[in-house]
Structure 1
Amino acid sequence: MKNPLTSPLFSPRHTTPEKFFIEACDEGADAVLAIDRVSNEMTLTGKKDVPPSAVTRPICGIMGTIRLVAGMYLIVITRKRNVGSLLGHAVWKAVDFDVISYKKTVLHLSEIQSQENKTFLSMLNNVLTTDGFYFCTDFDLTHTLQRLANTSPDFQEMSLLERADQRFVWNGNLLRELAAQPEPFLDPPCPVIVMKPCRINGKIFEWILISRRSCFRAGVRYYVRGIDSEGHAANFVETEQIVLYEGAKASFVQTRGSMPFYWSQRPNLKYKPKPIISKTTNHMDGFQRHFDSQLLIYGKQSILNLVNQKGSEKPLEQAFAKMVSGMNNGMLNYIAFDFHKECSHMRWDRLQILVDSVAETQDEYSYFMVNSEEKTVAQQRGVFRSNCMDCLDRTNVIQSLLARRSLQSQLQRMGVLNVGQRIEEQAEFEKIYKNAWADNANACAVQYAGTGALKTDFTRTGKRTRWGLLMDGWNSMIRYYKNNFSDGFRQDSIDLFLGNFAVDESDGPTPLRVQKDWKFLTLPIIMLVAFSMCIVCLLMAGDTWTETLAYVMFWGAASAITATIILFNGQDFVDAPKLVHKEKMD
């Protein structure tokens, strides 16, 4: 059934001191969802039961409900924007949200509880304002075209929420209270989508890029690495490239995800913290679970590991290779490609070495295609699973190259490209293609690392530029600051939103009350005072140069010793998550 709350029409939300009334807006529909603001009970009623005195505001959809210190809150979409059409179904981007308290006042809270409630509200808004929530009211965005084509009639009769791939339903936890209600009151958002109408040889076709970021083991760079005990990999993203032309449709799917064993890389004020492989965990259990799931969903796997094969990344590459070998599974093919070594000194043309080496495998995996008579003429039989350290920058570059090769074959088969023509020669489309993949990289990177992606100058232009290197340096500095001084809050925000942490119904203290160690404030102040005194001594010289030198050496040594102690205890000075225990994060 079509979900009217996220349809092109807006739905009225009626508010009284006792209840919320959320009205369906299907033509002729009388259904109204009544939410009691005192008992939290939800019932289905009719429009006649909405009091005339109710305050009415339009909303575009319900994200769900969540319990905070002050009680229950209703999260609604207040503004949306149409981003295009997929197979005739309108796709929307959620733009603005409202978090509404069931309680009419927070006077029942103590001052500390009130502050904690404000912090939790800030966390929710931090997630909601991070770009990337998309939804469709009458089409399942969480599944690939191939998965949807291979489903049973019973599956097609299920509601969008029931049949959605739970890996990509980011408001799944928020919908738990509403799950018992029949549609039309539910819809699962799914990030990230780029949709473009394109033209080649005068033939107009739709080109769509959908990146579905998993909500399992979700988080931010450095605080979420590797896998969990269920085999879910950090920053796992399924990217589907779709082409629609005159009734025919085709798609090509790739995945990315953190190296699927137990390792961590916690921020400690250093520019690049040393990654640590766990020595106390049986890696093969989680590793096996990860690839058992991947093989079941996607078929054969070609693992493209793009990390450095020297320095601190080398042990990770060796461990990954050893575990793939230990599985002894013919469905897994492991390829290590030292991206930075191969492309050093701006030799980015050498990426073609990797593309050419997997060309035969890519032809074997093929892609999904349905012709204009709705007959399936090709099925994708495997995927490339790419990763670097973050599964962002290097990974996106490689995925865009493999996707272009698949697109070349699809467009020729559809008759859009003539024999002998190449996509690279189609200047207008090539510009759209490169910019879309760069935008895709930026969207994924902002969610995980806090900044736009690196190396997007190559994705956009096909070559590495000095301006691109400069922008990469700027983004790297911003990443350094955010990863060390704001990512703990971002990680807590995601854990609260996804239900990894639930606010206790009791009046007891929350983990937000954890106090920083005395070193956190004392040592930086000592270092700042010592450094300032060193500068003052240089500017205001003493009676003799030896006296000046002695003062400068004393205060310089004090600032240097304090800075060394701070770096040695770096993990005490970064913004660490508070809501989920450390052992659960590893």
Structure 2
Amino acid sequence: MTLPYRDINVHVAADSYTFTSPSSPNAPGLIVDRPTGDVRLSEGTSYPSKRASKVSSVAGILGMIRLRLDKYVIVITKAQPIGRLKGHMVYKIISTDFLPMRERQIRDPDEDQFLSLLKTYIMTGPMYFSYSLDLTNSFQRQASMDSASPLWMRADDRFFWNKFVQTDLMNFRKMGSRSQQGSQPGADPYILPIIWGTLEIRPTTFKSTPLTIVLITRKSRYRAGTRYFTRGLDEDGHAANYNETEQVVVLNDTGSGLGGYAGSADMQSGKFGASEGREMQIMSYVQTRGSVPVYWAEINELKYTPRLQVRGIETAVPAAKKHFDEQIRIYGDNYLVNLVNQKGREKRVKEAYEQMVQMLVTSPSEKVNADAISDEKFHVIQPTSSQQEFDRLHYVYFDFHHETKGMQLHRAMMLVEKLHDALIAQQYFRGVDMPANGGLETRNFQTSVVRTNCMDSLDRTNVVQSMFARWTLDRIFTDLGLLQRGETFATADPAFEFLFRNIWADNADTVSKAYSGTGAMKTDLTRLGKRSRQGTLQDGNVAVSRYYLNNFKDGPRQDAYDLFLGAYEPSTANIGSSLIFADRRPILIQSIPYMLAFSVFLVLVGLFTKRSPDSAVLPTRLFILFWMAVAGWSLSFILKNGMLYVNWPKLNPRPWATEGYQETIGKVRKDKLIGSLVAKHERGLSTARYLNAEEGKKRIE
């Protein structure tokens, strides 16, 4: 089994970067030639250390990325150990560095902006890796894999977060280069898979029984993005904000394990994982979350509630089939728990989801439950037969907001009761660690999955996922004999209950920050088990923060995702010089927020500046009234034409955003007060002249 190197030295020379492992002195080094960025393996063990101007140690190679002007090797300069899982150390990336192929003599604004996006939004994100354990796959999937193949070859394509930036290394490994043709297995130890999400490992006790509880959330690299710029499905069936969450209990875990690259003596002797003669057992339970699987969007216009757009259901059927084909193939039956509101603006999304399920399953059977609180407490759509693949979809709508109104969040447990029989049949994965045989021996399979969503698949979703996880954990402890039948861990061990609540609340915050930019709402329920006034106030603070971030900050964050994950490639994009991030709005449009700020400042000056006793009052009042009128007009203009002031993604413009912008700017051109000024500016920068200018620049280059 080939594992990634735990220790890598970087030899920096004028003509190359050479990566070597001190613990494997006989293995070939990886050479990245400068300035071409071509990859090759060193011949024998002759490293260019004498020519190296600098030698430094790194924790691993995150990948290689080509921006507009240059290619960079991204190295992990610092990694923090966060705990051992099944004896394997797991690390969180703390800091990274970009090694350029060229020494740049001039500053390029676009190149600097690309690097800034990656360093600000991606490199600071929650990324985890292990040198010896596959973090991208659930334990159930790991149990059926060939553990002899390299770690990166076993990685789940969806959660191999740095796969795009590892493309150069993977291609070299598979096909070689012009100078070294054919497969290059010597490159395997330099390819390190990373996941993005939550990874908490907590060694603890439950009723005096030592165990480790682990929570892993893996964010999909497909259709990754921000809250209002990435919704629903894409044409390949990838859902926005898709995450797989795995709750793991490890019994008889070991504190020792892979002490070095080759593993410990215990592992090699086959005794690895034994604790007082007992087998190490792994119990895991997997859930998924993802955006409502239809074509839909929410369009920012600076209003607190964005405009909702749901495209035709029929057009999304092929994408939904791709999505659920993959989900059923990987997880088996899918229980689709929908938590959006049944009334108001969310109703359209709810109905679109239900129409989609009805179109996918054979002879759908519907059942609606109502009570005094809600007209549609539950809405279940089940296939009446199992003639085809999509008859493994089971839709369950739960009116979360109505049922839990008035801080009655405990009523959400009704959903667990509704799915009781399905959860019993679903079971959970149980495996026994058998190092001598090369991995896990499966004793029990999880046969289906619960896929939960709300509008954002954040706050309500996390509350409900933690409830399913709680129910399953009670079942696991009961099966292990740690709980009596009917007993719960909440009452049996309050300290463990506190730990459980907090790791799920931390998970809520991590997933939410990646998508919305803030922590999650309703975490007081997850942490405390009830709604509190302080939690309600905190939710208000989160709502205001999300409004600001989603309108004014999420464009660059979306660009960073698209750049790192390969949805936008600067080297192949048809762009000119230093114009990608330029603000092309008319100057007058750009200036109105500054006019608003300036006029508010002058109003405050007029109100609070001391006047001499003999000065006239009327001029001051007229001054204040005039600037109040300017401020009022400026604010009204901004709110009325909000599409012009949202910070949109620049690299992959959203079609609906482009359409809305053009429609809004068209209205502004007809404005009686400033329309002529805006139109004059637009004529000065006509599309034809802009394209001609770009063509001229390309010829010069």
Give the Cα–Cα distance (whole angstroms) in 1 for the partners of residues 56 and 600 of structure 2: 57
Moved more, 555-564 or 341-350: 555-564
Shift of 1:544: 7.7
| Residue 648 of structure 2: aligned partner | 576
SS in 1 for 2:119: helix
Indicate the residue corresponding to 1:186 in structure 2: 191
Where structure 1 has 5 or more consecutive residues not aligned to the other structure, the ranges are none
Q: Which residue of 1 aligns with 2:181?
A: none
Q: Aligned residue for 2:64? A: 65
Cα distance in structure 1, aligned partners of 2:642 and 2:314: 25
Q: Check the 8 A contact 1:245/1:414 in 2, yes or no.
A: no
Residue in structure 2 matching 1:451, options 492, 496, 518: 518
Preserved contact between residue 341 and residue 400 of structure 2 (Cα < 8 Å):
yes
Structure 2 match to 1:171: 162
Q: Deviations for 1:265-298, whole angstroms, at most 9, x for unmatched residues?
A: 1322112212211249712121222112111111
How big is the shift at 1:449?
1.0
Q: 1:145 maps to what in 2?
A: 139
Determine the C-alpha separation between the residues in 2 that align with 1:205 and 1:460: 21
**Preserved CA contact (<8 Å) 2:4 2:191:** no
In structure 2, the residue corresponding to 1:577 is in which secondary structure? coil
1:218 corresponds in structure 2 to 224
Q: TM-score, normalised by structure 2?
A: 0.77
Which of 334, 344, 358 matches 2:395?
Answer: 334
Render the CA deviation track for 1:170-192: whole Å, top value 9, x for unaligned.
Answer: 11111111112321110110122
1:15–1:552 Cα change, 3 Å: closer
Contact 2:2/2:151 (CA < 8 Å) preserved in 1? no
Aligned twin of 2:377 = none
User: Is structure 2 residue 464 aligned with structure 1 residue 411?
Assistant: no
Counterpart position of 1:3: 3
- The question of 1:498 aligning with 2:562 is answered no
Hey, what does 2:322 align to over in structure 1?
289
**Are the counterparts in 2 of residues 274 and 312 from structure 1 also a CA contact under 8 Å?**
no
For residues 254-273 of structure 1, the aligned pairs below 5 Å read 254-273=287-306
The one-character-per-residue Cα deviations of 1:291-342 (angstroms, maximum 9, x if unpaired) are 1211111111111111111111111111111111121243111122222222
CA, structure 1 residues 536+39, in 2 after alignment: closer, same or farther (shift >3 Å)?
Answer: closer
Q: 1:439 aligns with which of 502, 506, 525?
A: 506
Following the alignment from structure 2 to structure 1, what is the Cα–Cα distance between the partners of residues 141 and 55?
A: 41
The letter of the residue matching 1:93 is: K
Q: How does 1:386-425 map to 2 (within 5 A)?
A: 386-425=452-491
> Do the aligned partners of residues 4 and 512 (structure 1) sit closer, same or farther apart at CA in structure 2, a change above 3 Å counting?
same
For residues 91 and 296 of structure 1, the distance between their equivalents in structure 2, rounded to whole angstroms, comes to 29
CA distance in 1, matches of 2:606, 2:539: 38
**The one of 148, 154, 176 aligned to 1:157:** 148
User: Are the equivalent residues in 1 in contact too, given 2:213–2:247 (CA < 8 A)?
Assistant: yes
Contact kept? 2:301, 2:307, Cα under 8 Å: no
SS in 1 for 2:46: helix
The alignment's TM-score, normalised by the length of structure 1, stands at: 0.92
The equivalent position to 1:127 in structure 2, one of 116, 121, 124, is 121
SS of the equivalent of 2:158 reads helix
Does 2:387 correspond to 1:315?
no
Aligned equivalents of 1:221 and 1:385: distance in 2?
19
Q: Distance in 2 between matches of 1:514 and 1:26?
A: 51
Q: In the alignment, residue 37 of structure 1 is paired with which amino acid? A: R
Instruction: Tell whether the 8 Å contact from 1:146 to 1:379 is kept in structure 2 after alignment.
Output: yes
Distance 1:364 1:519 in 2: 64
Counterpart amino acid of residue 592 in structure 2: L
Q: Which amino acid aligns with 2:344?
A: G
Q: Distance in 1 between matches of 2:441 and 2:137?
A: 19
**Alpha-carbon deviation of 1:554?**
5.5
The size of the alignment, in residue pairs, is 574
Matched, 1:522 2:521: no
Query: Equivalents in 1 of 2:25, 2:589: separation in Å?
Result: 62
Contact 2:122 2:560 in 1 (8 A): no
Please identify, of 416-425 and 129-138, the stretch whose mean Cα deviation from structure 2 is larger: 416-425
What is the CA distance between 1:75 and its match in structure 2?
Answer: 0.2
Q: Deviations over 1:489-542 (max 9, x none)?
A: 111011111111111268833522352333542222333344455556666899
Shift of 1:467: 1.3
Q: Indicate conservation of the 8 Å contact 1:367/1:380, yes or no.
A: yes
- Which letter maps to 2:655? E
Q: Which residue of 1 aligns with 2:535?
A: 468
SS of equivalent residue, structure 1 residue 77 = strand
Counterpart-to-counterpart distance in 2, 1:286 and 1:565:
39
Give SS of 1:265's match. Answer: strand
Residue in 1 aligned with 2:699?
Answer: none
* Greater mean alpha carbon deviation, residues 43-52 or residues 234-243: 43-52
Q: Which region of structure 1 is more displaced relative to structure 2, 45-54 or 533-542?
A: 533-542
Cα distance in 2, alignment partners of residues 419 and 288 from structure 1: 41
Task: Say which SS state the counterpart of residue 396 (structure 1) adopts.
Answer: helix
For structure 2, which runs of at least 5 residues remain unmatched after alignment?
174-186, 253-279, 362-389, 435-439, 659-701
Indicate the structure (1 or 2) with the bigger Cα radius of gyration. 2
Identity of aligned residues (%): 35
Deviates more, 1:321-330 or 1:530-539: 530-539
Output the CA distance in 1 between the equivalents of 2:604 and 2:49.
Answer: 71
The match for 1:366 is: 427
Give, in angstroms, the shift of residue 169 of structure 1: 1.1
Over 3 Å counting, the alpha-carbon distance change for 1:51 and 1:558 in structure 2 is: closer
Deviates more, 1:500-509 or 1:351-360: 500-509
